[in-house]
Chain A
């Protein structure tokens, strides 16, 4: 039996009925990881042995008293910028290369409460800054569909691990597309919840007003199951919203889109989009129409300003968020130092990679006296306009569908020397973070080269249920998931 091929809900069913034990599950994944991980390189830290010990303890407990919880015995991979107590959390950075948090992120505490098993911590672009996972201090991850291609980023390790069946599901984080873009690159499902839906406590901050944790899964049902566990208000995160959490799996009852109005923003099909991607997304829109959705043309006029706005706000916040890595209390401290100033400079010189340094410099500049109004102040004003664009569009429609990225996954090394080209791969995902709304990425086809193409479905704030309903109906009607990567 190939347990590693199952989705989370399929595996749950087998475990709940007692058909498989936790030990068997972890054993299957250990074998799988040993087989494909040398090629995919999804993990920074593997946690198989501890997971096995936990699994055995769990099986023992269940012998005496069999009652399961939703994630009991489910082996998950966690992006390595989410703090896990007593387990190395590096953010793919040399500066946190030795950092073992003495606390769990709130989402981890929630998963733990449901009996999940931590299989390992996945690779990312350093501090989640990047779109290819090439900015990792520990080397890039590979796209399971074609190992010479990137898995996308920054949650490339999590997306690759799910696509390569190295875990049953994963958590990622999304600041400008970092869940949705790698999910599209790897042909899996990635959900970025509404800003404030999931606690950020314990997520190592990149850009605090944009960061959001979300699931990366094999199908839409799994995304709903994981969101059920991690969503909700957290007193430790003042920006988490005190909004009722529905049972997201109830959104998966209907297999049609009757009475749903679906907007197609014309700005998202402008120049720069790969014809293969455009065709796949257009066909997906036709499918949504066949399912009963009413397709409407909408406009998001400020789309063109999104990338510039994002790179001012995100870098400004990052420049401040990353100030704490100073060599004083934890993480790297340079051995080359004569005095305090040199300790700061050498530590940060040696500890941060080039993209992180570039963004710290950009953000520091944007906040500097004399430039604040022109950059940070202006960007905040534009951000308000972008949010209003979405509000206006959502007056007319219930969901918005777009491509996830203008192309399919690109080759390793193809864009690393040209940061602006790299930034453009997030052009369709960034506005969603600036507006704070929820969005999902799910497979809608393949290029001739055999690389997955993603469809993005965006919803109103705190209407993840509607987003999931749309995604589920499409997934059930198409089932692109049947095709699996061969990992060669």
Chain B
């Protein structure tokens, strides 16, 4: 069996977060009752005409800039003609010869090294509706709420060499789109859809093999599963001297395999031509420069900066910058509390756990950076122990109270008073004569045993420093 190189390119459709549709004033809310978010334009009624949504154009330009693309000054929209019940006009308004963004690139962390993935193009188009096959004998139905929602189709060159690289690229792209606030990145709801194309070629050759397109992939896990399945399938076909057919295959989640959806022979002739209902859209340098100012620092750059500026480990920086709200939260905290690693532990640990449980992001955190910092300051000021601080975090998150309130109400103030602590220590020593003998016989490791018991007996409130000091004294006899 010869060895093959995997060659993968990716088409991603990102639903843009505009208030209204691409070519009419209808809203873009997900999940409304069927056909309630429609008008004569997006229903494709006779005589209606499209009008370009400039917000969508702005989002496309900002994304293009983030992906290091060239922004085309003269844009044309084209009609892609085909019949399908969820396509009201019998054509989709898209871009063909002149996409708004071209020739970009992004860097991903490949197998241990940075790798460039080239972006071939990104173009604006409108989404279709949905056919509903919900049983019944009187046929299928169509919901056109989604018809006309703006999409940005982002196409890479075939630069990826493994399923893992694809997942890394896709995660990076999703983070980027969310940073730009142009897409909610929800793969399950279909706001972000990916269609990889994959081919194999003998290692050492440069000519591309016959490619297969994969559809119906709506999670990162499925991307990896489907690609790995397809790599195995193609490897098997080729190593048995078979030929790969150019076709589109659907990922079947249940069976864990891909199956033919349509072959090249069934491919549509879309009869693209410039849409005569829309005049060419020109984008000025001034407009581009104005939008460039609104492109935020992107995840990759921000991760690098977190390492250099805050001295965080790569891992921490990666977790903290994956989502913009979390990174913003972290930076707000660090401004108030200049111990980045301590803060990183709290944000990645306690806070992220609560956020994940609640299924929300840091922008919606009920614990503000100010409150988190005041909790940490209670620890630093020895009012409470670190353990107590961790223990009360869930309540801090759930109740909306300040840390001070909770500490007060529960009487959790740290005990540093020598008489009180002395009593507890005496009790522990009396109860454990065997360990006392061991300690005094030179086995200093049992010291921790005493600390633990004292802390426990104090309900975690004892000041650990004070406990250490007193214990040492008392055990010395």
Lowest 7 A-B CB distances belong to which pairs? A323-B90, A367-B271, A209-B276, A208-B276, A204-B46, A202-B47, A204-B47
Assign chain A's interface to a size class. Answer: 35 or more
- CA–CA, A323 to B81, complex, Å? 8
Q: Judge whether B83 is part of the interface by a CB distance below 8 angstroms.
A: yes
Asked whether any CB of chain B lies closer than 8 Å to the CB of A200, the reply is: yes
B40 within 8 Å of A by Cβ?
Answer: yes
A204 to B45, CA, bound (A): 9
Q: A83-B46, A89-B46, A103-B40 are in contact. Are A367 and B81 (CB under 8 A)?
A: yes
B327 to chain A minimum Cβ distance, whole angstroms, is 40
State how many angstroms separate the Cβ of B27 from the closest Cβ of chain A. 18
* B253: interface (CB < 8 Å): no
Measured CB to CB, the closest approach of chain B to A434, in angstroms, equals 13
Q: What are 29 A-B residue pairs whose CB atoms fall within 8 Å in the complex?
A: A102-B45, A200-B47, A201-B48, A202-B47, A204-B47, A208-B276, A239-B276, A319-B81, A319-B271, A320-B79, A320-B90, A320-B91, A320-B271, A320-B273, A323-B81, A323-B90, A324-B88, A324-B90, A326-B90, A328-B142, A329-B44, A340-B85, A364-B271, A367-B271, A367-B273, A368-B269, A369-B271, A372-B273, A376-B273
Bound form: Cα–Cα A91–B45 in Å? 13
> Which residue from A82, A207, A326, A368 sits with its C-beta under 8 Å from B271?
A368
**With A101-B45, A204-B46, A238-B51 given, is the CB distance from A323 to B83 under 8 Å?**
yes
Residue B277 at the A interface, CB < 8 A?
Answer: yes
Tell me if B132 counts as interface (CB < 8 A to partner A): no
CB 8 Å contact bits of A309-323 with B (1 = contact, 0 = none): 000000011011011
Query: B47 to chain A: which residues have CB within 8 Å?
Result: 81-83, 101, 105, 200-205
The CA of A91 and the CA of B47, in the complex, are separated in Å by: 11
Evaluate contact between B277 and A323: CB separation under 8 angstroms.
no
Are A238 and B49 in contact, with the CB atoms below 8 A?
A: yes
* 1/0 contact string of A76-92 vs chain B (CB within 8 Å): 00000111000001010
List of B residues within 8 angstroms of A102 by Cβ = 40, 45
Q: Which of B88, B269, B279 sits near A238, CB closer than 8 Å? A: B279
| Cβ-defined contact, A103 with B50, below 8 A | no
Shortest Cβ distance from A387 into chain B, in angstroms?
Answer: 15
| Contact indicator A99/B46 (Cβ below 8 Å) | yes
- Bound together, the chains give a CA A200 to CA B46 distance in angstroms of 11
- When C-beta atoms are compared, the residue in chain A nearest to B79 turns out to be A320
Task: Assess whether A139 is interfacial by the CB under 8 Å rule.
Answer: no
Contact: B88 with A344, CB < 8 Å? no
* B336 touches A (CB below 8 Å): no
Q: Does B52 contact A (CB under 8 A)?
A: yes
Please encode chain B, from 271 to 291, with 1 for each CB lying within 8 Å of some chain A CB and 0 for all others. 111001111000000000000
Chain A residues with CB under 8 Å of B62's CB are none
Q: Is the CB of A103 within 8 A of B91?
A: no
| B211 within 8 A of partner (CB) | no
Q: Which residues of B from 1 to 57 have beta carbons under 8 Å from A? A: 40, 43-52
A81: which B residues are within 8 A, CB to CB?
47
Interface check B89, CB cutoff 8 A = yes
Query: Cα distance A367–B91 when bound, in Å?
Result: 13
Query: Does A330 lie within 8 Å of B271, measured CB to CB?
Result: no
A203 to B47, CA, bound (A): 5
Kindly state whether residue A350 has any CB partner on chain B within 8 Å.
no
- Cα–Cα, bound, A329→B142 (Å): 9
Q: Select from chain A the residue with minimum beta-carbon distance to B24.
A: A236
Which residues of chain B are within 8 angstroms of A201 by Cβ–Cβ distance? 47-49
B206 to chain A, nearest CB (A): 28
Please, which residue of chain B has its CB at the minimum distance from the CB of A363? B271
Which residues of B are found within 8 Å of A239, using beta-carbon distances? 49, 276-279
> In whole angstroms, how far apart are the Cα atoms of A165 and B144 in the complex?
45
- Any B CB within 8 A of the CB of A235: yes
Q: Are B276 and A317 in contact (CB under 8 A)?
A: yes
Contact bitstring A98-121, B, C-beta under 8 A = 1, else 0? 010111010000000000000000
Q: Bound complex: CA of A96 vs CA of B45, how far in Å?
A: 11
Most buried by A among B40, B51, B277: B277
Chain B stretch 170-204: residues in CB contact (< 8 A) with chain A? none
Contact of A237 among B45, B49, B81, B272 (CB under 8 A): B49
Which residues of A sit under 8 angstroms from B271, Cβ to Cβ?
319-320, 364, 367-369, 372
Complex CA gap A328/B89 in Å reads 11
Bound-state CA distance A12–B430 (Å) is 116
